[in-house]
Structure formats: C-alpha cells, structure tokens
Amino acid sequence: MPAIPIKDHIFTIVGGASLVGSATAEHLLAQGAAEVRVLDNFSLGGDGAIAHLRGEPRLKVIRADILRLPELLEAYRGTHGVLHLAALMTLNMDRDPWTGLDVNIRGAQNSIEAARQVGAQKFVFASSNATYGYGPGIKGDLVETTPFHSVGAPPAAILYGASKIIGEQLCRDAFRKHKLDYVVLRYSTVYGERQHYRAANALYIIETYDALKAGRAPKVFGDGSETKHFVYVGDLARANAAAFESAATDVAVNASGPEAVTTLELVRLVTEIAGGGPAPEFEGETPGKVRLTSGGAFRIANEEAAKILGWVPQIGMREGLRRLITWLEEDRRRNA
C-alpha cells in the first residue's frame, strides 16, 4: 500500500540531523508517529539540529553512514517509511566531488536497496530544482517536465543536479524492478529555523542580514532582478508527511514556496526585518565563488504537488524570513 498514515507508524529520516530532517522529525512526532529514527553520520549535520527534540522517547538517533549498506539494513529494520535527505550540495560538491558523488549516488543506491530489503512501504527521495539545472535556460515556469540545463553553470552545480537526476531514476528503477513505492520531492531552496551554511542561496540571506547588522551594504549581483524561489522548512516537513500519507507513487513533483522573489525584493525584506541598514551595492562576478544563475525571472511551479499530494505551501517569504532571523538571533545568543 503506497499510503502510510503518520499515526502509529515508524519513519526513518536519513541525513536527519539537518534543517529539513529536524523539522520533519518534529512534524511526524507531532502527528503521532510511533517512532522517528534520525539517521546521520554527523559529518555535516549536527547534534544541535535535533537538540530541541531531546528527551522525546519516540525519537531514536542512529549514527550510521549511508555508504555502508550493512548499517542501513540494520537501521531500517521495521520502518514503514524512509525519507532520504542525505546529500552533499553544490558548495560541498565543489570542494570534494569524490565524496559528493559517492554520498549522492552510492548513498541513494544503498538507501533504496535497504528500504526494499527490509520491506519498507514507501521511500521519499529529496530531490531538488537543481534537476532543471542552471544558467540562461532557466526562466519562466519550471514544471516537472522541464529538461536539465547546464550551459553556463559551474561544474559542481551540474554534478549536483545530475546526481539528483540519478537518485530519482534509481527510485524509478526500483519501482519497476522491485515494486518499491516512492515519491520524489524536488525541493526548491529551503530556509528556516536551524538553517545551515551549506546552501549557496540560503547562505545569501544570512550574509545579507549579517552585512546589514554590521552596517555594511549588502551585495547584490547584477541588477538584482534575478529570481530565487525558496520554500520554508515547515512547509517542506508537511510536504514530506504528505508524500507518505498520499496514495501517490512513482512520481516526482516540485515542492516550492508560495512565491518567487527577486534578489532585490529579498534584500528589501531582510533589511525590513533587520530594522534598516545601508542600501545594497551592486557588483560583478567574484572569482572562485560558486554562483547559481538563471536566465531571468522564473517560478518553480507547485501545482502538481497540490494535485497529487494535496500539499500547498503556506508560509510566504516575509513570515519565513522573520522566523529564520528570529531563530538565528536566539541561536547566536545561546552560543555566545
């Protein structure tokens, strides 16, 4: 049965000590899950990401590595649903493509294999709008059938996107060959409480905020008209749950926020939340910095997710940014 109720069921979140993992664990527990297993090797994820859930008896933290299949076979036993988040993104892929391709591809193979070996009922694979690529080809509505654009994009971004395409196809292959039910969610750039510093676009929010608070002008590349389409982490937690709960299988859908924003709008919103600050400074290319560009205004369409999973994002940029920055300030006070 491809539909798994959250209540009284067991879920494993792979790469769970993370932004999306921690929010999803919290959500699944709140929805009455019998047990949520947070599996992580803690190489990128940290204890801090799941600190707010400490003491919850239904939460189980498992230190394991997705490159070691035996550890997954052990950890997945008895699980009803697997959420596969573990991956290296573009910035880390640039630094270490050997680990990046291993984790994103062999890791996905191991995870899918373990899920079907233990008889898990559904596999939810976190993919990315990176499967549409970057560069001038990216404009207008990005829908689930949009092809992968790579001209004009940095190698690491293409490696990342291609590795996610491979992960998706490994799911399709397992469905065809082994009847493993799955849903692929193509996340747009995630942001929110427990934000990490590894995603180029989300990092930009924090860099902008920090510049403003320090009295420095935030930097805007080009004329600031380039679009970004974020999704609030709490909305994604619900999307992940919806992927388990719905009868949908053998499908890939976008999971993006209510609206796209231009860089200038984003800077304006952050400035508003920061309580003012210097006007942005416009600049050209920074050598050695991995930038993810598009061909102009684009929107990552999420109508398909509404239709197939009944999921609609609820948190707009202003509210989401407010939550992120409130958390950021609290987190820094705690760690000061």
Give the footprint of its own copies on this chain (CB under 8 A).
97-98, 101, 105-106, 109, 133, 137, 145, 147-151, 155-156, 158-159, 162-163, 165-166, 169-170, 172-173, 176
CB of 100 to its own copies, least distance (A): 10
| CA gap 241, 152 in Å, rounded | 36
CB of 163 to its own copies, least distance (A): 7
Are 203 and 197 a contacting pair, CB within 8 Å?
yes
Are 189 and 227 a contacting pair, CB within 8 Å?
no
Are 146 and 87 a contacting pair, CB within 8 Å?
no
CB of 156 to its own copies, least distance (A): 7
CB of 64 to its own copies, least distance (A): 20
Reported as type and span, the H/E element at residue 101 is helix 97-101
| CA gap 179, 201 in Å, rounded | 36
Q: Report the relative pairing of strands 251-255 and 59-63 from DSSP bridges.
A: unpaired
Decide whether 273 or 290 has the Cβ nearer to its own copies.
Answer: 290
| CA gap 193, 184 in Å, rounded | 23
Decide whether 91 or 233 has the Cβ nearer to its own copies.
Answer: 91
Decide whether 161 or 320 has the Cβ nearer to its own copies.
Answer: 161
Q: What is the DSSP string of 207-273?
A: HHHHHHHTTPPPEEETTS--EE-EEEHHHHHHHHHHHHHSS--SEEEEE--S--EEHHHHHHHHHHH
- Which residue's structure tokens are 């491979």? 166
Decide whether 173 or 259 has the Cβ nearer to its own copies.
Answer: 173
Decide whether 57 or 288 has the Cβ nearer to its own copies.
Answer: 288
CB of 67 to its own copies, least distance (A): 12
Decide whether 138 or 242 has the Cβ nearer to its own copies.
Answer: 138
CB of 267 to its own copies, least distance (A): 30
CB of 274 to its own copies, least distance (A): 36
Residues 6+ away with beta carbon under 8 Å from 181: 2, 121, 122, 123, 175, 249, 250
Decide whether 109 or 121 has the Cβ nearer to its own copies.
Answer: 109
